[in-house]
């Protein structure tokens, strides 16, 4: 999830914390320990933005907690029935689904960066062939393997009909399951957001033409107007048909917030040139309960007229998310925590974790679903998270090392072809 790091598109690395990629400071070499090194993200030119992987950590953590709570509620409703709607805990857990929107912002930021640099800093143009080939070689192998594995798991272990599931598998592999069936994939339900991501990826080379607007005020005015327009109109259009509900129509505004962040990053406004400020931490953290209230229609949000609540939420949440992101880049405490090596390493594995976490929970929670020793929902959920969270990360880390990490090398197809040729040559020599 969340696109790639800037190291996938930008120039050569320089000394740590001193290189200027897109004319912004990034970290050339991730701090490595013997434990974390095998699980660190590989970038094609060695550079990455640690804050981005920290934001990915926040997004994937929110989604995992959300799905853990849902799975426990369905398997042990006596002990893990959702807290009373309107309670702070219920609203916070329910808002974990917004982690997907946080991923969309990261995708908008990362994929817009090379295009923004080209238009605003005279950087190299991004070739369309290279752009689409990179999406294909980087993202497709892990996705296809997971979907095929989920299909086999459903058929072999759970006794589902292969004939009935095959059309859903094909639709999921083609990223059109929600468009065709108007529901989440029966193979792996989290794939709906990847279908939205693909819709965005296909449009990025043309959407980023707005960076060609040279005037900063005019360009950002267009971006702001586009965010407001897509926030107000997109969800209404998406609601006209269940086939459009989970499409780019509903979520375009979040990708465009990423565009705005890319604009700020390229012109040097995102990273502070002086000391970081605690006020950014305060503003970012203060935005969280407001987002929760708007998303769940609780708290102060209940004061809004019922007819306008959804519109206000759609208009406000993207900007509140933007405020949170600014807090990570410009704050003190948030920046310190979300750039810790362990945090960025887990964030760097978010694609593998996202693809596998719900499948893992669906097939393992029968082992721990009865573990609720305190009778207090929040404490028992925390205990479940302490047990299953590391297991989800460990399971996903194996897949990351074996499948996703090798695909981060943009030359892996050439290496694979060369390996097959060498094997063929050895067979010929041996047979002669």
- The one-digit pLDDT tens for each residue of the chain (432 residues) are 766 545 454 433 333 333 334 444 444 445 556 788 788 877 655 467 899 999 999 999 999 999 999 999 999 999 898 777 778 888 899 999 999 999 999 999 999 999 999 999 999 999 999 899 888 888 999 999 999 999 999 999 999 999 999 999 999 999 999 999 999 999 999 999 999 999 999 999 999 999 999 899 999 999 999 999 999 999 999 999 999 999 999 999 999 999 999 999 998 888 887 789 999 999 999 999 999 999 998 887 788 887 788 899 999 999 999 999 999 999 999 999 999 999 999 999 999 999 999 999 999 999 999 999 998 999 999 999 999 999 999 999 999 999 999 988 888 788 778 878 787 777 777 666
Name every residue whose Cβ is closer than 8 Å to that of residue 271 and which is 6 or more positions away in sequence. Answer: 24, 25, 265, 329, 330
Q: Which helix (H) or strand (E) holds 25?
A: strand 24-26
The residue with tokens 């090596």 is 341
Task: Give the up-direction half-sphere exposure of residue 227: CA atoms within 13 A in the CB hemisphere.
Answer: 24
Tell me, what's the pLDDT at 431? 67
Instruction: Look at residue 1 and tell me if it is in a domain.
Output: no
Name every residue whose Cβ is closer than 8 Å to that of residue 106 and which is 6 or more positions away in sequence. Answer: 1, 2, 3, 52, 55, 56, 59, 258
Write the burial class of residue 432 (CB in 10 Å: 0-12 exposed, 13-18 middle, 19+ buried): exposed
DSSP state of 83: P
- List the Cα angle 315/317/322 in 5-degree steps: 110
Instruction: Look at residue 371 and tell me if it is in a domain.
Output: yes
Q: What is the pTM of this model?
A: 0.90
Structure tokens at 209: 């033409």
Cα–Cα distance for residue pair 25/47, rounded to 1 Å: 10
Cα–Cα distance for residue pair 40/35, rounded to 1 Å: 10
Number of domains in the chain: 1
CB 83 within 8 Å of CB 229: no
Instruction: Look at residue 272 and tell me if it is in a domain.
Output: yes
Tell me, what's the pLDDT at 1? 72
DSSP state of 408: T
Q: Is 20 helix (H, G, I), strand (E, B) or coil?
A: strand
Instruction: Look at residue 109 and tell me if it is in a domain.
Output: yes
Instruction: Look at residue 95 and tell me if it is in a domain.
Output: yes
Residue 168 vs residues 105, 161, 163, 178: alpha-carbon distances, Å:
28, 11, 10, 10
Q: Is 78 helix (H, G, I), strand (E, B) or coil?
A: helix
Tell me, what's the pLDDT at 45? 53
Q: Can you say whether residue 24 is alpha, beta or left, with left for phi > 0 and alpha for psi between -120 and 50 degrees?
A: beta
Which domain, by its residues, includes 389?
6-431
Provide the CA 13 distance to its chain's centre, in angstroms.
25
Residue 356 vs residues 157, 240, 363: alpha-carbon distances, Å:
17, 32, 11
Q: Which residues pair with 48 in a beta bridge?
A: 27
Tell me, what's the pLDDT at 43? 67
CB 294 within 8 Å of CB 313: yes
CB 296 within 8 Å of CB 231: no
Instruction: Look at residue 170 and tell me if it is in a domain.
Output: yes
């Amino acid at each position: 999830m969340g696109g790639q790091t800037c190291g996938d598109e930008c120039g050569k690395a320089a000394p740590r914390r001193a290189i200027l990629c897109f004319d912004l400071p990034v970290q050339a070499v991730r701090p490595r320990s013997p434990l974390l090194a095998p699980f660190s993200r590989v970038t094609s030119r060695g550079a990455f933005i640690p804050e981005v992987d920290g934001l990915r950590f926040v997004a994937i953590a929110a989604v995992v907690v959300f799905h853990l709570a849902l799975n426990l509620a369905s398997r042990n409703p006596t002990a893990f029935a959702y807290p009373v709607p309107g309670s702070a805990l219920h609203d916070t857990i329910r808002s974990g689904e917004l982690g997907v929107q946080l991923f969309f912002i990261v995708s908008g930021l990362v994929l817009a960066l090379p295009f923004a640099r080209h238009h605003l800093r005279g950087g190299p143009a991004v070739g369309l062939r290279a752009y689409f080939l990179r999406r294909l070689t980087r993202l497709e192998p892990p996705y296809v393997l997971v979907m095929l594995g989920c299909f086999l798991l459903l058929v072999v272990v759970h006794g589902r009909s292969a004939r009935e599931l095959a059309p859903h598998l094909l639709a999921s592999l083609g990223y059109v399951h929600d468009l065709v069936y108007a529901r989440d994939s029966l193979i792996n339900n989290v794939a709906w957001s990847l279908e939205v991501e693909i819709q965005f990826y296909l449009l990025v080379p043309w959407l980023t033409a707005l960076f060609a607007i040279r005037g900063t005020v005019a360009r950002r005015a267009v971006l702001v107007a586009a965010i407001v327009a897509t926030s107000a109109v997109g969800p209404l259009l998406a609601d006209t048909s269940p086939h459009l509900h989970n499409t780019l129509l509903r979520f375009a505004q979040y990708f465009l917030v990423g565009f705005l962040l890319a604009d700020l990053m390229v012109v040097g406004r995102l990273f502070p040139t002086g000391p970081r400020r605690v006020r950014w931490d305060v503003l970012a953290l203060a935005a969280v309960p407001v987002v929760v209230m708007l998303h769940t229609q609780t708290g102060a949000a209940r004061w809004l007229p019922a007819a306008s609540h959804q519109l206000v939420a759609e208009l406000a949440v993207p900007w509140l998310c933007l405020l949170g992101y600014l807090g990570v880049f410009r704050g003190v405490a948030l920046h310190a925590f979300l750039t810790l090596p362990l945090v960025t390493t887990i964030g760097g594995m978010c694609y593998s974790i996202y693809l596998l976490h719900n499948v893992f929970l669906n097939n393992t929670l029968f082992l721990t679903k009865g573990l609720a020793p305190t009778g207090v929902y929040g404490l028992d959920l925390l205990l479940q998270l302490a047990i299953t969270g590391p297991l989800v990360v460990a399971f996903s880390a194996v897949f990351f090392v074996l499948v996703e990490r090798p695909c981060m090398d943009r030359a892996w197809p050439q290496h694979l072809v060369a390996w097959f040729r060498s094997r063929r040559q050895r067979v010929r020599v041996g047979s002669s």
